[in-house]
Amino acid sequence: MKKTFLTVNDRKFPLYSCHTLLIGSGAAALNCACHLRSFGLDDLLIVTERLDGGVSANSGSDKQTYYKISLFGRENDSVYETAEALFSGGAMHGDLALVEAALSAQEFYHLVALGVPFPHNRYGGYTGYKTDHDPKQRATSAGPWTSRQMHQKLLAEVRKYNLPVLDGHEVISLLTQEGQKGLRVTGALALDKKKADTGLDALVIFKAENIVLGTGGPGGLYRDSVYPEGYLGSTGLPLEAGATAANLGEWQYGLASIAFRWNVSGTYQQVIPRYISVKPDGSDEREFLNTKFPTGKQLLTAIFRKGYQWPFDTRKIEGYGSSLIDLLVYQETVIKGRRVFMDFRRNPSPLGGRKDFRPDFLAPEPYEYLQKSGALQFTPWQRLEEMNPMALELYRQNGIDLTREPLEIAVCAQHHNGGIKGNIWWESSIAHLFPIGEVNGTHGVYRPGGSALNSGQVGGYRAAEYIANCYAGYELDEESFLRNVTPRVGALLDFGARLLGNTGSGKEMAAFRRDFQARMSRTAGHIRATGEVGRAAQEAERQYKRIKQGEVSLGGPADLVAYFQNRHLCLLQTAVLKSIENYLERGGGSRGSALVLEGKKPGAREEKWWSGARREAKELRAFSQEYTFRNGRHYFFWRPVREIPKDNFWFERVWSEYRCGDIYHYRK
């Protein structure tokens, strides 16, 4: 890495030049940095908004899941079976699924070697358990903080390599120019947040042969969100630069606590807590689920299954399935305006309430699970303490004692299955730009729980391998770079001055963000109404045009950081809503984690309002919806998914292609 300075309009700005710039400091980006270094590349620079502030370091669940190929047990498994589980969810390319399956063991053992404490038995076997959308027991966990422990161990490795990290820098723009392969990335612009009160004097310029974008999912897009507080994501950043995205309308939603944002999956449900709703002032307590299920056993089984069927799934509503609970929670909180809590202090009424807990009240499935786990204690919190004491401790550390108080919950946005399109080497439609982790749109409609962590690690490795073998040289001409970047910076300085001079007109940044977050939760959450999506998309587009043209009000120079954050989020909001609108116009219906209602959303008095939802057009699972924003216009393309490549890899042929480097020529 080399640091110089660039003077524009008599103002001097730091210019960092490196071979590969890594934006973000989550587990995917750090893993990529480690692999780049192991491949012999050392001219690297990591730039991040907050080193410990991302999703990897601050999110989880009861026992946060890592999904990989089965590595122990009598149950048969193979790379192709694992790939099929990933591919079968729909709208995912088969070659990407095969890559994620083939490298899952390698990247899992890489984490083990770094010291992530995944449990193994006395014989060294890494056993697994069943997770959502998982036909086998491929899941494993290091506890509630699996991704944090991954982040910590990978960061320690980065520090061992002595790789430079610029913390506290908000990247606001990607720099591109036309190259031999069309549009290619050449660098980035950022604001040094430590100098944010100086406005655009805090500008920092980066020149790089390659950029790895590992900034996670768009956590700032929804009001009802389980993403960590203050974490926003930056998917809009490459969209604004012209990168193609895939499946932007595909999200995952689920039950989460809201005072402290956390997934309430797994053992939080398997211990069968009591669900209650109250008026906003806390009065009129009701066990609102009881009257919605024919028998107590069916209700208790649905709560139990919500543990490993945690994401809201439109296929698990009928027949009193586990996702009916999500709809009933939504009905209480959004339609009726009440508050909903999970209560671990008492058993649900079908289990005898406070006075009695009789295992024979349970159906065989939950009873056998709790019995094998040694968890037939009297109260839900005692069962939780037996099965997963760390799950209790987690909330204690955040000021919530589940043994003494109920836990307020809602249905929240939890993961973006869509994102920026990448090929099998995780390179985007903009050459030399590699989106990895949640910002990459690898996943389709459904995905096995924990596969996102595997995808991030595999993507980091693949990007590093391709960069090391195909983009290891230096091609950018410094004179050409400066010729392109200087007017870009000059135009930004002029715009910033005009923006800061625009006081008193337009919305201030906090209200602007509240607007689009409320719109997304209202129209693009797990309940979507055909009569509302189009109108919301138009509102979003108008809002993006206003902020792009500077028709907003900043409180001062430091607000420039929030301005660019909101601009990127607002573009992504528009892209997501237009993607949903385009999907509905093509005949799409309820699928994945989104229920589509005809017309408008229901009122408080409508019963079983979900029964009239639009059916899924299953034939659309055979396509990936692609989106590009170019010259102020939105473009959509429906690409047939690529099937899983056939198993015809003769060793001698593979060896030859590997030695010659021909494997890198396949770039779909």
Copy the structure tokens of residue 14: 């730091």
> How many domains are there within the chain?
1
Write out the residue range of the structural domain in which residue 295 sits.
253-413
Both tokens assigned to 443: 């996943």
What are the tens digits of pLDDT across the range 65-122?
999 999 998 889 999 999 999 999 999 999 999 999 999 999 999 999 999 999 999 9
pLDDT digits (tens, 9 = 90+) for 463-497: 999 999 999 999 999 999 999 999 999 999 999 99
Report the chain's C-alpha Rg in angstroms.
25
Residue 354 has pLDDT above 60, yes or no: no
| CA–CA distances in Å: residue 386 to residues 118, 380, 381 | 19, 10, 9
Least confident of 182-191, 274-283, 288-297, 324-333: 288-297
> Does residue 326 lie within any of the structural domains?
yes
59 vs 181: CA distance, rounded Å:
38
Give pLDDT, residue 667: 63
Q: How many angstroms separate the CA atoms of 634 and 624, rounded?
A: 16
pLDDT at 271: 96
For 506-535, write each residue's pLDDT tens digit.
889 999 999 999 999 999 999 999 999 999
Burial of 530 (0-12, 13-18, 19+ CB in 10 A): middle
Q: Give the confidence band of 351 by pLDDT, cuts at 50, 70, 90.
A: confident
Q: Is residue 195 domain-resident?
A: no
**Taking every pair of C-alpha atoms in the chain, what is the biggest distance, in angstroms?**
80
Partners of residue 627 on adjacent β-strands = 245, 636
Distance CA 11, CA 19 (A): 26
Q: Which of 226-230, 270-274, 648-652 has the highest mean pLDDT?
A: 270-274
Confidence of residue 442 (pLDDT cuts 50, 70, 90): very high
pLDDT tens per residue, range 379-424: 999 999 999 999 999 999 999 999 999 999 999 999 999 999 999 9
- Report yes or no on 288 lying in a domain: yes
- Tell whether the model's pLDDT for residue 448 goes beyond 70: yes
Residue 260 included in any domain:
yes
Q: Using the predicted structure, report yes or no on whether residue 446 has a pLDDT greater than 60.
A: yes
pLDDT tier at 665 (50, 70, 90 boundaries)?
A: confident
- Whether the per-residue pLDDT at 332 is higher than 80: the answer is yes
CA dihedral 207, 213, 219, 221 (to 10 degrees): 70
Q: Which residue has the higher pLDDT, 623 or 504?
A: 623
Amino acid at 256: A
Residue 52: predicted pLDDT? 87
Predicted local confidence at residue 534, as pLDDT: 97
Structure tokens at 139: 């899941």
Average pLDDT over residues 61-65: 92
> pLDDT of 201-222, one tens digit each?
999 999 999 999 999 999 999 9
What is the structure's pLDDT at 319? 95
- Give percent above pLDDT 70 in the chain: 98
For the chain, what is the mean pLDDT?
95
Residue 267 has pLDDT above 80, yes or no: yes
Rounded CA-CA distance 338/336 in Å is 6
**Structural contact between residues 164 and 46, judged by C-beta atoms closer than 8 angstroms:** yes
pLDDT mean over 219-236: 94
pLDDT tier for residue 340 given thresholds of 50, 70 and 90 = very high
User: Is 429 part of any domain?
Assistant: no
Assess if residue 358 is contained within a domain: yes
Strands (DSSP E) along 85-126, which ranges? Answer: none
What per-residue confidence (pLDDT) applies to 54? Answer: 86
Average pLDDT over residues 577-584: 98
576 is written with which tokens?
Answer: 């997501």
CATH of the domain at 350: 3.90.700
SS3 of 185-237: EEEEEEEEHHHHHHHHHHEEEEEEEEEEECCCCCCCCCCCECCCCCCCCCCHH
594-615, pLDDT tens digit by residue? 999 999 888 767 788 999 899 9
* One-letter-per-residue 3-state SS of 494-561: HHHHHHHCCCCCCEEHHHHHHHHHHHHHHHCCCEEEHHHHHHHHHHHHHHHHHHHCCCEECCCHHHHH
Domain contains 585: no
The SS3 assignment for 280 reads coil
The answer to the question of residue 382 being in a domain is yes
Average pLDDT over residues 183-193: 98
Residue 502 — pLDDT band, cuts 50, 70, 90? Answer: confident
